[in-house]
Amino acid sequence: MHGPFRAALANLRGAVRESVSLAPVSHLRIGGPAEWFIEAATDQDVALVARACRECEVPLHVLGGGSNVLIADEGVRGVVMSLERLNRVVRDDTRLIAGAGVSVRGLIPLTIGQGLAGLETLAGVPAQVGGAVAMNAGTREGETFDLLESIVVVDREGEIVEVGRDGFHARYRDGGLDGRIVLSARFALRLEEPRAIRERFDGYIRHRNATQPASEKSVGCVFRNPPGDAAGRLIERAGCKLLREGGISVSGKHANYFVNDGSGTCADFVRLIRTVASRVAADFGVALELEVRTWEVRGLEGPPSA
């Protein structure tokens, strides 16, 4: 770490480690080392790191639950910052304020127990709150921005500010953060009998388990659904189910999921993306767009058939 950058981080409360493998923090279990891995301990830490990276021109990647990132086998330059320690949850009447590092999977049973309905629509999404906001994660039952009232972020100037949900251009699988970093989110929930919420939640989980390879190493849906269609349907109809590149294959249960058998690499994943996208383009004239976020991944430029 060069001198000015080290000096800019002098007041950091959290930990900085060098050359940390990212595979264990990615749901897919793929990814080389981060040059520096920072675990932010406070909101101020996040702002400090954001400012230091900007001033010293060090690349910064913010890590949530790692369930929607494809990370290069060679690793990532600069800083990867984990917000896992921002894990406070505070109830304010029917609102819930949750830190960016809170696991959505852990939060849902808590809200059900307190008779607060709404978050159960995100059943089965293995996100942290920050990642769910960043991606506007959603299911057929609804999406994250439906539930939000406001979000505390580090803005592009490195200041901590609270922004109402209308201050974001959220759309399908994109929270429209535009470079801002989520510190916490205020969810507006509604009172309901815990048993009724629990029954709905159990139904959503049953449906997911029946239709998706929930327990395998994946990033969920690889491609966004094109308008009016489902990427999984197109991939299946293009005959790509169970197609394999190295250790990565198209799931037999849901064709928009690519699963890692444990030996897969980012390069395998990229080859499979290209093959599937080119077959769908050839058969249906549809250019699939990636939903998964990629970190320093090469080989995705240009038309898929190239």
Ligand X SMILES: Cc1cc2nc3c(=O)[nH]c(=O)nc-3n(C[C@H](O)[C@H](O)[C@H](O)COP(=O)(O)OP(=O)(O)OC[C@H]3O[C@@H](n4cnc5c(N)ncnc54)[C@H](O)[C@@H]3O)c2cc1C
What whole-number distance in Å separates Cα of residue 261 and Cα of residue 235?
A: 20
Least distance CB 105 / ligand X (angstroms)? 10
Among 100, 116, 151, 185, binds ligand X (CB under 6 A): 100
The closest residue (CB) to ligand X is: 131
Residue 135 or 272 having the CB closest to ligand X: 135
Residues near ligand X (CB under 6 A), total: 33
Helix 104-113 to helix 194-211 angle (10° resolution) is 150
Q: Which stretch binds ligand X (CB under 6 A): 3-11, 87-95, 175-183, 227-235?
A: 175-183
Residue 278 or 294 having the CB closest to ligand X: 294
Q: Which of residues 17-76 bind ligand X (CB under 6 A)?
A: 27, 61-69
Among 111, 121, 128, 256, binds ligand X (CB under 6 A): 128
Residue 211 or 305 having the CB closest to ligand X: 211
Residue 6 or 298 having the CB closest to ligand X: 298
Q: Is 82 in the site for ligand X (CB under 6 A)?
A: no
Least distance CB 276 / ligand X (angstroms)? 17
Q: Is 148 in the site for ligand X (CB under 6 A)?
A: no
Q: Which stretch binds ligand X (CB under 6 A): 137-145, 227-235, 272-280, 281-289?
A: 137-145
Could you please report the per-residue DSSP string of the chain?
--HHHHHHTTT--SEEEEEEESGGGSTT----EEEEEEE--SHHHHHHHHHHHHHHT--EEEESSSSSEEE-TT-EEEEEEE-TT---EEEETTEEEEETTSBHHHHHHHHHHTTEESGGGGTT---BHHHHHHHT-EETTEEHHHHEEEEEEE-TTS-EEEEEGGGS--BTTB---TT-EEEEEEEE-EE--HHHHHHHHHHHHHHHHHHS-TTSB--SBSBPPPTTS-HHHHHHHTT-TT-EETTEEE-SS-TTBEEE-SS--HHHHHHHHHHHHHHHHHHH-----B-SEEES--S--S-TT-
Residue 30 or 279 having the CB closest to ligand X: 30
Residue 270 or 279 having the CB closest to ligand X: 270
Residue 65 or 118 having the CB closest to ligand X: 65
Q: Is 177 in the site for ligand X (CB under 6 A)?
A: yes
Residues lying near ligand X in the complex (CB under 6 A): 27, 61-69, 83, 100, 125-128, 130-132, 134-135, 137-139, 173, 177, 181-182, 214, 218-220, 293
